Every structure is written in structure tokens, then in C-alpha cells.
Amino acid sequence: MHSSLSLSFSATSSSAATVSRSRYSFHAPAAVPLNLRFCGLRREAFGSGLAASLNRNLPRRPHSAAVSAALSNNGSTPKSFDYDLLIIGAGVGGHGAALHAVEKGLKTAIVEGDVVGGTCVNRGCVPSKALLAVSGRMRELKSDHHLKSFGLQVSAAGYDRQGVADHANNLASKIRNNLTNSMKALGVDILTGFGTILGPQKVKVGSSNKIVTAKDIIIATGSVPFVPKGIEIDGKTVITSDHALKLESVPDWIAIVGSGYIGLEFSDVYTALGSEVTFIEALDQLMPGFDPEISKLAQRVLINPRNIDYHTGVFATKITPARDGKPVLIELIDAKTKEPKDTLEVDAALIATGRAPFTQGLGLENIDVVTQRGFVPVDERMRVIDANGKLVPHLYCIGDANGKMMLAHAASAQGISVVEQVTGKDHVLNHLSIPAACFTHPEISMVGLTEPQAREKGEKEGFEVSVAKTSFKANTKALAENEGEGLAKLIYRPDNGEILGVHIFGLHAADLIHEASNAIALGTRIQDIKFAVHAHPTLSEVLDELFKSAKVKARASSPVSEPVAV
């Protein structure tokens, strides 16, 4: 699932002045969310304070005494193998790697201790998009101005909460079954149980003493919601995204801790269904992981006109669930001074403070691997690095567990890259070419660097950075949909036409970003891509106009092939 995420650090708090609001009042301190880009946390983003907090809150995997007892007999490399490739974790990353491995002719097995599909399918990307599809329809039906512009009249729109929840659950079930069936159809063995590494190329599966060997092993165990110290989760009134996706209730007033991707998407859902939302953000601005210009526009469209207020520069140090007729209590402190700031009393609180790697109990100590704040250390080829800085032969780690980029499609791309390597073809994935999207209404998408990041890079490396922009108001298809609110932004090098980053806010931004991400992945320059032809009238012309508006000094490259006469 995606989301620039917010990490809330705990700190001591005390009471403060009271300010009235709606049914309840609010006064003082809380935890500090640190917003991180994309749907998860890059391990580089964790400071020492968070490291200690994260280590205290890391999820633990089952680890039996039988595993330790067996270690002395399982430290040597097996002479023959049960499988060419064994994947621990059947989420989107593991599934992508398994399918590519079969295509490459590898005998493959995948180990899953929970359910096939992992976080994305069961508790993330998939069910959240089902809820967002509902929120999008509700917004259209409730917007009299929008409907009248089309000459439409609709009576009062309503919804059935259980029906909405069932839609999300049914979609997750369908996709989960599709993934399972696709692997079975291709001959991938699905081994049920938690996988524990016993030694080189050896894995224990489940609570039995079954040991499986493989020439190469991929760790793809994913992540779970990160809950900072001081926050008490009851699954009803203080919840994580795992609980929120079940939509067991639609509270009148909900606080969302963190204004990254997860928080933004749920604010879209809750406000469309009638809730008031209060954001709690540790940094001084909302959506700090986005390009600043896009963030500013998104706040004007997604936050300001809706039933949303916010507190920035504060930590939620303590959150107590509703009980005995009392509301959820959220204590806030100033992020800089640590002085008490406010206390919120709300109906519910959603903790959208990022995700933590699910790596404990993997048996990494058996191969001398030490995690870094829970993340498995890897190199640019996803090869696992041990405590001495040496590569662990035949062992790889992909997806959220390595912390490079916590996105489902990034995990899949890393898995495919690993399979390429183990089948003899060197491959290094360019993470700057991997797009990210936030499925609000309108959507936000991006790939590559933000403008501040690009300018910093240009200063260090001595090149000029230019920016081009185009508005959705100039696009015929967007205007036909009465959706002209939007912006596309291109960050590039005018000397050679290299695309450094593209950011889009507007209708179907998540679909439009791929032309830019593919161009970055393939090394296509602006002076070449501006000759591409786009169907008219389509939203894709937003990118067409964007590339054409760039001022590049370099000339176009020679065509790849001669034109074909028709």
C-alpha cells in the first residue's frame, strides 16, 4: 500500500490549555510524526530516537526451541537441493519473483505463514482501493455543482457501511485466490508455515521439523503497521490501517496521526462517508514527502475545502482508546520544544505512522546477519550482507523487509531482478524509475526526484536544473470531465534532456505517471520523447504538452529504426 508515511515518536507530556471543538474538547501533547516518502519508510530515514522506539515495537515471528536445537546439524551447505529457488513470503514481491522464476525454468517453492497476497492484497493496496472507489463515487453523487454542470440531477446519495466493507473484503479475497491459483497452475509449491533460516541454503518450515533446501533463497516477509510507544491500540476506537480497511464503523470525528499516503487516502474515504477528520503531523507542513509545489496544491484541493483540520509540528505522545463512555484521548506536545500543546478528545484515532519490517524470527542470527532497525541489510542487487560486511552467498532480500522502497510494485521489481541474477544475467534495478501514487480524488503521482532534491543534486554535481509545468485546465479530456483542477511538473537537465523527476496532481494521475517512469527506466531523453504521438483527446496529452514545453539544448538522438511507409 502506498503512502508517504508519518512516524510518531513518543515523549513525555503534561496538560495544557483547552480549546473547544464540536462534541469534545482538546488541550495538550502527543507523538511526533516524521513523514517519509512513498508508502513506507526508507531505513536511512530513521534517526537514533526512532531506532530505539522501532526496535521496541518490532513484530515478532514464532520461533521454536526446536530450531535452535537443530542448528548444529544444519550449518553446512547441502550437496543437493530440493528447489532451485525458495521464497519466504507470498506477498506481491514473492509472487512476482515466483512467476518469473518459473518462466526462467527454476523449480520454485514459496513459504507463507499467513495468507497468500501479503499486506498489499489483504490489508493494503487492494482493499484500500475498493474503499477509495466508493469514496470517489460518493463525492461525485454528493457534488451538486459538478452534477449540474453535466445537466444531471440525482437524489440524495447514501451508502450501506456493511456493503462497502464487503466490497473491499470480496475484492481482497478474489485477488488472493487469483494469486494462489496462478502459482499452483505454474507448478510453484506453496509451503504453509513460517520460514526460519537454519544455515546456508536451509530453511525450516512451520512448527514441524521439516527442512527444505534451495540453491538460492529470497526473503520477502514484508512489513506490519508501526505503532509508536505511548499509543494503545484496541482495534475499535484506536486503530491501524489493518483495522480501518474492515470499515467496522464510520466515526463522526476521527484523528489521523500522519499525513502521508496512508493518512491522505483514509481522509478521502472518511470525509466522503461523512466523518470529520483531524490530521496530526510532526513536521511543520502537511504531506512533507511530496514535491512542495504539488503538496501545496493538494492541500488546497484535498484538505482545505473538506471537513478536515490539522495540527502540524506536534507529536502524539499518548493515545488512550474510548472506554467507560469517555472519548479517545490524544495528548499532543510541540515537536521542537516538547512542551504540552493540546489534548484532543475524538471518537476514533487512526495511526498512519508508517510500517515496520517483519523480520524477527527469521533465523538471521544463524547466518550472522544483523538487522538495522529491523531491516535486512542488502546491496544494490538485493544480496544480503552479514555482520562483517560480507555478502551471504545465495541469499537475497526484497521488498519492505529491506527498506529500500516500501512499495508493493517495488518489491515485485526487486524479486524479478533477483531472479535475473540467479539465472545468470546481471541486473541492477533503478529505484529512481519506480513510480508512486496516492489514490485520493484527484490522485497524486510521482517518479524520480522532487525539485529540492534535484537542485541539491545539481549543485553537488555541477549541472543546471530546469522545471516545466502544464495544467489540466489546458487538456480537452479533463475539461470534458469537468476535472480541470490539476498540475503536471517536469524536473530535468536542460543540457542533455535527462528526466530527473515528474510529479502529477489531477484526474488519473496514477495512470499517467508511467510514461515518465518508463522513460527514466529506459534512459529516454526529453528531446526524443517529445516526438511521441498521443491520441486526442486523452489525458495522456498532459504529459505530451509537458515534454514539449521543456527547453532542451541537446538535439534529438538518431531514430532507432527507419520509418515504415504505410
Kindly provide the b/e burial profile for residues 58-74, where b requires at least 16 CB atoms within 10 angstroms of the residue's own CB: bbebeebeebeebeeeb
Question: Could you give the CA distance from residue 463 to residue 465 in angstroms, rounded to a whole number?
Answer: 7
Handedness of CA 210, 213, 214, 220 (dihedral sign): positive
310 labelled binding-site residue: no
Q: Where are the alpha helices (DSSP H) in 389-535?
A: 408-422, 451-461, 476-480, 509-512, 514-522, 526-529
539 labelled binding-site residue: no
Question: Could you give the CA distance from residue 527 to residue 3 in angstroms, rounded to a whole number?
Answer: 32
262 labelled binding-site residue: yes
- Phi, psi angles (nearest 5°) of residue 119: -60, -50
223 labelled binding-site residue: yes
**Cβ atoms of residues 272 and 138 within 8 Å:** yes
**Residues recorded for the chain:** 566
281 labelled binding-site residue: yes
403 labelled binding-site residue: no
Burial class (CB in 10 A: 0-12, 13-18, 19+), 201: buried
276 labelled binding-site residue: no
Catalytic residue among 394, 441, 503, 536: 536
Question: Has 95 been annotated as catalytic?
Answer: no
Question: Could you give the CA distance from residue 36 to residue 354 in angstroms, rounded to a whole number?
Answer: 8
Check whether the bond before 288 is cis (ω within 30° of 0): no
260 labelled binding-site residue: yes
Kindly provide the b/e burial profile for residues 355-382, where b requires at least 16 CB atoms within 10 angstroms of the residue's own CB: bbbbbbbbbbebbebebebbbbbbeebb
265 labelled binding-site residue: yes
Q: Cα–chain-centroid distance for residue 172?
A: 17
259 labelled binding-site residue: yes
Question: Could you give the CA distance from residue 363 to residue 210 in angstroms, rounded to a whole number?
Answer: 15
Secondary structure E strands in 230-386: 238-240, 253-257, 276-281, 308-312, 314-320, 328-334, 340-346, 348-351, 355-357, 383-385
Q: Tell me how far CA of residue 134 lies from CA of 22, 198, 278, 289, in angstroms.
A: 27, 46, 21, 26
195 labelled binding-site residue: yes
Strands 314-320 and 308-312: unpaired
484 labelled binding-site residue: no
Binding-site members for NAD(+) are 258-265, 281, 354
**Binding site members for FAD:** 129, 195, 221-223, 400, 406-409
Task: Extract the annotated binding site.
Answer: 129, 195, 221-223, 258-265, 281, 354, 400, 406-409
Which active-site residues does the annotation give? 536
